[in-house]
Amino acid sequence: MNALARRIAGHIRTMGPISLADFMAEALTHPTLGYYRRGDPLGAAGDFTTAPEISQMFGELAGLWLAECWQRAGRPRPVRIVELGPGRGTLMADALRAWRVVPELLAALDLHLVESNPGLKARQATALGQVRATWHDDFTTVPEGSLLLVANEFFDALPIRQFQRTEAGWCERLIGIAPGGGDRLAFVLSPPHPAAAVLLGPAADRAAVGTVMEVSPFARSLARAIGARLAAAPGAALIVDYGYAQPAPGITLHGVRHHAPADPLSDPGLTDLSVHVDFAALAAAAIAAGAETWGPLGQGDFLRRLGIEHRAARLLATADANQGERIRSSLRRLIDKEEMGTLFRALALTSPGSGTPAGFEPPMAAES
């Protein structure tokens, strides 16, 4: 067992089982041992790859989407441009390059990056070049004002709680010590939880015994905070992640290490943990705070509507054979149904009365 696992096991022995949310928070964001406080998790040498790392087209189109929203909002100056979980800074660097066709936005931007990994902050600063940014550990410290926000594969890493329906009622799935002693961690059930049905919503009433449901109070709280900002000042937010359009039962928590599945409870701090995002819950929280929402729409359809195939054709026109194959492969990976095209979804949040943002033109039916 690694140092963080021993630390968590020792706490459980003293204080009793902990929630999955507390385990995830410790495993991902412990100040020195947490997964996102350590090295670079991206790329072939890391554990996963994100859309901005697959192709420049993703960041360019996301940037132009934000620019269109800025123009629709009346070109406010200054405008807080915020990225949640910027990774290596690739998406923002590509967006900044795309904004050269909108120099007024470059002159108005006030860039803020929400990032907790010191190593990645340094890489982001390098990627941004001469563009100045302010870094935050939390969205709540971003100054108020007009907001353009992008979050790609950020919400999937926010802590969740799990509940299981038993004959006695809804019980929370907690993290305890596995039978047989030692420091090995395992799921255990709490006594019936009186607040579970409220947290889970109407779907809880229809669930059969044995059903497991997940909920993320952290994700809902953040969506509510973003929605409140958009209700108070003009702007928009784009959330792209993998997940489902409507609440769905089942366990989606999974671990990844070196691009392969891993036990989410083993090697905390060394294993990436993520879940499928409940886009309906995000939208409901943002609406309750006063924002309008659009989608979710499959990533493939969203990028097609923004013109990714046209952009790929432009790049192919000046590419050599090897570059051309990489462009075609990247395009397929981003938009094909068998790749990221449908599992990944895009959700837009906008200020009231802003109108339908690009890519979300009606009629729009939420995908299942």
C-alpha closest to that of 112 among 90, 137, 81: 81
Q: Is the pLDDT of residue 42 over 90?
A: no
Q: Is the pLDDT of residue 188 over 70?
A: yes
Give the alpha-carbon dihedral of 69, 71, 74, 77, to 10 degrees: 90
Cα-based distances in Å from 173 to 110, 209, 252: 42, 14, 14
Tell me the average pLDDT across 4-32.
95
Phi, psi of 168, rounded to the nearest 5 degrees? -90, -10
Q: Is the pLDDT of residue 135 over 50?
A: yes
This prediction's pTM: 0.93
pLDDT (tens digit per residue) in 288-342: 999 999 999 999 999 999 999 999 999 999 999 999 999 999 999 999 999 999 9
Please provide the DSSP assignment of 160-182 as one string.
-EEEEEETTEEEEEEEEEPTTSS
Cα-based distances in Å from 78 to 6, 84, 279: 48, 19, 30
pLDDT bracket for residue 368 (50, 70, 90):
very low
CA neighbours closer than 13 Å in the CB half-sphere of residue 319: 15
pLDDT (tens digit per residue) in 145-162: 999 999 999 999 999 999
Question: Residue 181's pLDDT is what?
Answer: 65
Question: Residue 297's pLDDT is what?
Answer: 96
The three-point CA angle 59-60-64 to 5° equals: 115
Q: What residues does 273 pair with on adjacent strands?
A: 255
How far apart CA 288 and CA 226 sit, in angstroms, is 11
Q: How far is CA 321 from the centre of its chain?
A: 34
In the structure encoding, which two tokens stand for residue 249, read together?
């039962």
Q: Is the pLDDT of residue 363 over 60?
A: no
